[in-house]
Amino acid sequence: MEAIVALRRRLAALPIRHPERLVLMDSMANLYAVSRTTLYRLLRGDRRPKDAHRADRGKPRIMPAVEIEHWCEIVAALKVRTTNKKGRCLSNARILELLVEYGVETPDGLEKLPPGRLSESTLNRHLRRLGYDRDRMTREPPAVRFQAEFANALWHFDMSPSDLKELETPPWLDPDRQGAPMLMLFSVVDDRSGVAYQEYRCVYGEDVETGLRFLFNAMSAKEEAGNPLQGIPSAIQLDNGPVGKSAVFRRVMECLGVEVILHMPRDSDGRRTTARSKGKVERPFRTVKEAHETLYHFHKPATETEANRWLVNYVIKYNHRDHRTEDHSRQEDWLTHLPADGLRAMCSWERFCTFAREPERRTVAIDCRLTVAGVTYEVDAELAGEEVIVWWGLFDQELFAELGDDRYGPFQPVGGPIPIHRYRKHRKSRREHRADQVAQLAEKISIPRAAVSGESDIVVCAPPGAALMPPAKPFDGPDPFHELTFPNAVAARQAIAEELRLPLAKLGDEDRAFITQLLAETLSRPVIIATIRARFPAGRKGGIA
């Protein structure tokens, strides 16, 4: 400021159109590295008229400052307490009437405002001055922007109804519901790069089965060359919809090693919008609906397959566009920020189906059958009449049953009753064998005469010990039902003995050597069962000659 004052004095001593004035302005601008316009603006700054205010400006005169702030706080609290979901609340005039006539109950007791002490205009002025007005009281806290460090560290998953609403020829119809299914747009977006993957699905609502099918496609390798997004993410974020609340969805994500992060429920964190991070997945939705689906006014897709083919073509172009902050495309950012240990490859569809199972408690009928979702299954005779927990798959027809710590299955659907000419009995279960042994023992045992006569010269012998409980299958690895592989060689030998209905010790040396070599090569359940059935054809006792 001292330099500006000195410059103003030197300019005042020179005539208005003197050429030295320009030289003086240029030398001063070069000295302080500013423009000539900045100097002119600084020279004009002190000549502006200043506002004239009272000496007690900003200080309330009608009551002390502490008291006026206290009543402003009470008014703001009443407006917050009376606000409904549509944003309506009591007006300041009505609040003043209530405070004067009835008062307000506070933690310090009943407080009433004296009549004529505070007017509406004065209250509004002090509310704005102290920051208690409605605009500041309802303003959200500052947002915090975050971004993952590596690709596939966090995915955002959501679904949104398409602007096309529904297809003219939907792929399927539910006879129990009215109308055609709605065309839903499913999307996942990588948090780091913004690379998106989207699909159309015809659904009647947000169901878990369709969401899991879409996520399997998103995590699997794509056939399209320009769509690189694949692999299992470390975490996935979604809203509190039916998919996020589903126990099946959480169980599948747990088997895949994916952390599920749900948005906080609405109005659960004060004034803050609890789903701010949805913007990264909502942005591709809006882009697709504005830049791609608006073209459906000229040409509409006829089938779901055709709609997905058109959508993939646009999503590939979307991923090649610029990143939100970097100077390269979204796809390049995803490829250059992959984890150091590489992507986690997605499992096969068969293994994925074993994860998607729903538990249900059922009682097995006396004919070893039970019905789940309209499909009849026949289980082991060991489970007849027992209350079991059945695990039925969302994507396959296999069923497992749990009784205590034991797990049985897989079981396949069966038809109607067995015809008379093909009648066969169930093989006796362990429970039936134990019951027969107990019945035979009951016929042989007796109690000493001393139990009746009171004589003490007879020693009572204890009956032999009870049979040992069968061993339980341990749970290990991401194959919770051991459908594809046996947990160890011992379990495989037990399954072979059960298939042959004969202890392996009764087999010949050549057969036992064959089984040992087979188990050393593989523990795959389908391969072992198929090889055993091929070597020991059915139809003969024990499967052997």
Residues 67-100 have pLDDT tens digits of: 999 999 999 999 988 988 888 999 999 999 999 9
pLDDT score for 264? 81
Residues 44-49, mean pLDDT to the nearest whole number: 63
pLDDT score for 306? 92
pLDDT score for 276? 72
pLDDT score for 480? 66
Q: Which residue has the tokens 């566009």?
A: 321
Residues 398-416, mean pLDDT to the nearest whole number: 79
pLDDT score for 212? 93
pLDDT of 209 > 60? The answer is yes
Q: Where are the alpha helices (DSSP H) in 178-278?
A: 208-219, 242-245, 247-256
pLDDT score for 249? 92
pLDDT score for 93? 92
pLDDT score for 198? 94
pLDDT of 175 > 90? The answer is no
Structure-model confidence comparison of residues 373 and 213, the more confident one? 213
pLDDT score for 226? 76
Q: How far apart are CA 391 and CA 396, in angstroms?
A: 11
Rg (CA), the chain: 40
- Residue 193's pLDDT band (cuts 50, 70, 90): very high
Backbone angles phi, psi at 440, to 5 degrees: -65, -40
Residues 213-221, mean pLDDT to the nearest whole number: 93
- Residue 468's pLDDT band (cuts 50, 70, 90): very low
Question: 243, 244, 221, 248: which is closest to 232 by C-alpha?
Answer: 221
pLDDT of 171 > 90? The answer is no
Window from 316-325, 427-436, 516-525 with minimum mean pLDDT: 427-436
pLDDT score for 462? 47
* Burial 453-488, CB ≥16 within 10 A → b, else e: eeeeeeeeeeeeeeeeeeeebeeeeebbbbbebbee
Question: 1, 3, 2: which is closest to 28 by C-alpha?
Answer: 3
pLDDT score for 466? 43
Residues 457-484, mean pLDDT to the nearest whole number: 53
Residue 107 one-letter amino acid: P
pLDDT score for 437? 82
Mean pLDDT of the chain: 83
Q: Which residue has the tokens 């006569």?
A: 453
Per the structure block, which two tokens stand in for 120? 């509406």
Structure-model confidence comparison of residues 243 and 144, the more confident one? 243
Query: What is the pTM assigned to this prediction?
Result: 0.63
Residues 393-405, mean pLDDT to the nearest whole number: 81
pLDDT score for 418? 53
Q: Which of 2-6, 10-14, 509-513 has the highest mean pLDDT?
A: 509-513
Q: How far apart are CA 384 and CA 378, in angstroms?
A: 10
- Residue 210's pLDDT band (cuts 50, 70, 90): very high
Structure-model confidence comparison of residues 88 and 463, the more confident one? 88
pLDDT of 542 > 50? The answer is no
pLDDT of 402 > 60? The answer is yes
Q: What percent of the chain has pLDDT over 70?
A: 88
Q: How far apart are CA 221 and CA 336, in angstroms?
A: 18
Q: How far apart are CA 262 and CA 256, in angstroms?
A: 17
- Residue 227's pLDDT band (cuts 50, 70, 90): confident
Beta-bridge mates of residue 392: 358, 399
Interhelix angle for 525-535 vs 509-521, to 10°? 160
DSSP element (H, E) containing 236? strand 235-238
pLDDT score for 228? 84
- Residue 541's pLDDT band (cuts 50, 70, 90): very low
pLDDT of 543 > 50? The answer is no
pLDDT of 505 > 60? The answer is yes
pLDDT score for 261? 92
Question: Which residues in 319-456 belong to E strands, given as ranges?
Answer: 357-363, 369-372, 375-378, 387-393, 399-403, 406-411
Residue 436 one-letter amino acid: D
pLDDT of 44 > 80? The answer is no
Residues 23-48, mean pLDDT to the nearest whole number: 81
Q: Which residue has the tokens 């919008």?
A: 273
> Residue 248: left (phi > 0), alpha (psi -120 to 50), or beta?
alpha
